[in-house]
Chain A
């Protein structure tokens, strides 16, 4: 029962060793990471993705609930006057959870935090009534920053004002789409992290230190079996190509090993007709065997379908 005296010393040494290791690998990096300021990319991403795109209690089955909408506005939703340039705003309808940067402006970084709170009034945003956010430019202590502006507080634009004037083609469901990206495991093959090699030439620049503030999960991916997607929207911005590629990747790339995501279309197509998947697959098999000259047409997706969100998300990766 009684041990050696050395075991007491050993237990203490063990505590020191593991504690020291955790100090170096957790505490020290946390000082660095906490001081990182958000880039414009990080601000846009968190406003577009919302609070959380992995499992959370507001979207327990990961169906894309509780997500904001991105809206491109051409005119002031209150007065109807044309805006100087197209403005992208992010609409959080009543009850939608706010992203980390609104709840904890400290994570936005020096300057951005102060501007977002003092001039952007992000602290006045209320989940019970919803809010509309956009990115604005401002000056803090002589330096220019992009900050988050709560348009509901500064201009009185409510979510229903904005959605009233928004046409369907001006609305982006990229927040819901990021949930689909995580749920469907796109990131098991497609990384969101071009590597520090000649990879840059093909897939674009790797991300900057501040590109992730407020994003969860980051879903970098580690096991790349397919092209990097961080800037895919800049390489290919065709909705039609994306539609065919998601429905059956072999329609546009015969050697692709990507799975078919036709099930994300749901039951009905854009005109409300039931999609006959069995017929489509049978006709596609005939095409593949050379019995048909052209493959069957890909059904157009409904505006509330899961694939709509995923395509919006992929195209938002500029």
Chain B
């Protein structure tokens, strides 16, 4: 890959930046889930590693979160954009060279940023933990170049219309830049007090609502029609999804601070707007499931479809929680408990990750024109992720309900800690399964690049999945 950084753009093979992004994303996913598993072990067994500042929970918790958001999820998005955007515009990526540089600067900046974050140098703001120089770097060297590449590819498309996936890609790359620059204003200009607290959660809400959720959904709008061969069930419902994300998902940021002293009108507004995220959610899930008509056998047979549909099905409980847990009646009970931790993992590890894993599997096979090295390892990867995640989600949801009950019945806190202990062990086991699955995945994709059967011209890799 590195030899292409200084090559002429037209000499770089198509898909190079997607491959670079794809493998980077998988490596970050392995590191991020490994660190998550380690953190979970610390919560279950507090004397697991002691006496070291760097390996204490408070130094590693945010590193895990930042790796999975900006290393795994965002890089998998970039990987998908690098091959899906040109495929849907019937052209080539605007600049493979920009894509390669973007990926390299991304890896370097993220590594440096995470190193200082790990050392404890932090803004002290959840989800925007990086100090402001790192935020400026991420905006200028990561998200703006990515956006330019996506927008220019769409502008130079050779089709008349723009397919649903590309609307989402174009809009989300723009919105994430706005969210990054506005959400970090407290750090750039030293805004303090409630302004700082509110903008912290404005950023946290919108980086999920205007970046992670819409791009993950956009990927499914490509994967399912492409792999099943069915056209998207309804472009109109796609419209509804797109506009309701922009209008409804960008508004309820204050629902993260329902128990903080913010203006009451803002909390009530956020509480009501939060219910409206059911509109894009139902539009998306129904559109994808209806697209599957007549091809449900692929849910069993095909690894990409299985990952994508599982992710879409997990969007149902995700949004049933997300639509109602900010209402005052429910928020009262579950706020600040493990329930929310379970919900956040349902969004990022359940829904979003499963859609991206499918896009990375599919993209790497089709760009490298190689069949998956081992379908058995891929199946094992799927089941380790699904069972590991489910173990995690169920145990954390139960732990959250215990904490909620402890909170409202005034149980001494240490009794809550004791009651949660078995669920903390289950959480660690679940997280470790996810980590193990990802190590197998990295091996499988590496071997696919090295030893995978070459896919003949004119055939799609998944058509040959069960041929020897």
Residues in A lying within 8 Å of B, measured CB to CB: 1-4, 7, 13-14, 17-18, 21-22, 24-26, 28-30, 32-33, 36, 42, 46, 51-55, 60-62, 100, 107, 182-189, 191, 193, 195-199, 201-202, 206-209, 211-227, 249-250, 253, 255-263, 277, 281
Contacts and interface: CB of A to CB of B under 8 A. Distances in A.
B140 to A, nearest CB: 18
B259 A196 contact: yes
A159 to B, nearest CB: 23
Nearest to A258: B46
A156 to B, nearest CB: 30
B407 A195 contact: yes
Contact of B62 (A18, A62, A185, A281): A185
Contacts, number: 227
Contact of B261 (A191, A208, A222, A257): A208
Contacts of A28: 266
A55 B132 contact: yes
B466 to A, nearest CB: 41
B161 interface: yes
Contacts of B193: 33, 36, 42, 100, 107, 212-216, 218
A3 B160 contact: yes
Nearest to B192: A216
Given A29-B262, A198-B408, A224-B336, A212 B42 contact: no
Given A17-B243, A28-B266, 20 more contacts: A22-B182, A25-B253, A60-B121, A62-B120, A100-B192, A184-B56, A185-B120, A197-B408, A206-B259, A214-B192, A216-B186, A217-B124, A218-B197, A220-B197, A221-B336, A222-B340, A256-B414, A259-B56, A262-B50, A281-B50
B198 interface: yes
A21 B123 contact: no
A86 to B, nearest CB: 28
Given A195-B259, A206-B261, A215-B193, A257 B202 contact: no
Contact of B247 (A17, A185, A215): A17
B18 to A, nearest CB: 24
A140 B163 CA distance: 63
Contact of A199 (B62, B187, B407): B407
Closest 9 CB pairs of A and B: A185-B58, A217-B124, A55-B131, A54-B124, A182-B124, A212-B193, A183-B120, A21-B250, A224-B336
Given A24-B269, A182-B122, A223-B341, A212 B197 contact: yes
B337 A21 contact: no
15 contacts: A2-B160, A29-B262, A29-B266, A33-B262, A36-B194, A51-B190, A54-B123, A188-B61, A188-B62, A198-B409, A201-B410, A216-B190, A224-B337, A257-B424, A260-B46
A184 B59 contact: yes
B222 to A, nearest CB: 20
B157 A1 contact: yes
Contacts of B157: 1
B123 A257 contact: no
Contacts of B190: 51-52, 100, 216
A3 B162 contact: yes
A78 B140 CA distance: 54
Contacts of B246: 14, 17-18, 21
Band of interface residues on B = 35 or more
B175 A256 contact: no
**Residue among B131, B162, B191, B260 with most chain A CB within 10 A:** B260
A291 to B, nearest CB: 17
B52 interface: yes
Interface in B37-54: 42-44, 46-47, 50-53
B42 A259 contact: yes
A212 B194 contact: yes
A229 to B, nearest CB: 11
A3 B52 CA distance: 59
B123 to A, nearest CB: 4
Nearest to B44: A257
A175 to B, nearest CB: 14
Contacts of B257: 220
Given A201-B410, A212-B194, A25 B56 contact: no
B179 to A, nearest CB: 10
Nearest to B123: A54
A231 to B, nearest CB: 14
Given A14-B171, A197-B332, A1 B51 contact: no
A217 B123 contact: yes
B263 interface: yes
B287 interface: no
B412 to A, nearest CB: 8
B276 to A, nearest CB: 12
Nearest to A224: B336
A211 B250 CA distance: 28
Given A4-B160, A186-B58, A259 B263 contact: no
Contacts of A33: 193-195, 198, 262-263
B182 A223 contact: no
Nearest to A185: B58
Contacts of B332: 195-197
Contacts of A209: 194, 261
Contacts of A193: 259-260
Nearest to B270: A25
A250 B56 CA distance: 16
B468 to A, nearest CB: 45
B178 A18 contact: yes
B156 interface: yes
B4 to A, nearest CB: 28
Contacts of B250: 18, 21-22, 25
A296 B191 CA distance: 46
A213 B192 contact: yes
A316 B340 CA distance: 30
B61 A259 contact: no
Contact of B196 (A196, A198, A217, A222): A217
Contacts of B175: 18
B251 interface: yes
Interface string B249-276: 0110110110111110010010000000
A32 B124 contact: no
A100 B194 CA distance: 13
B335 interface: yes
Contacts of B387: none
Contacts of A221: 126, 336
A187 B58 CA distance: 8
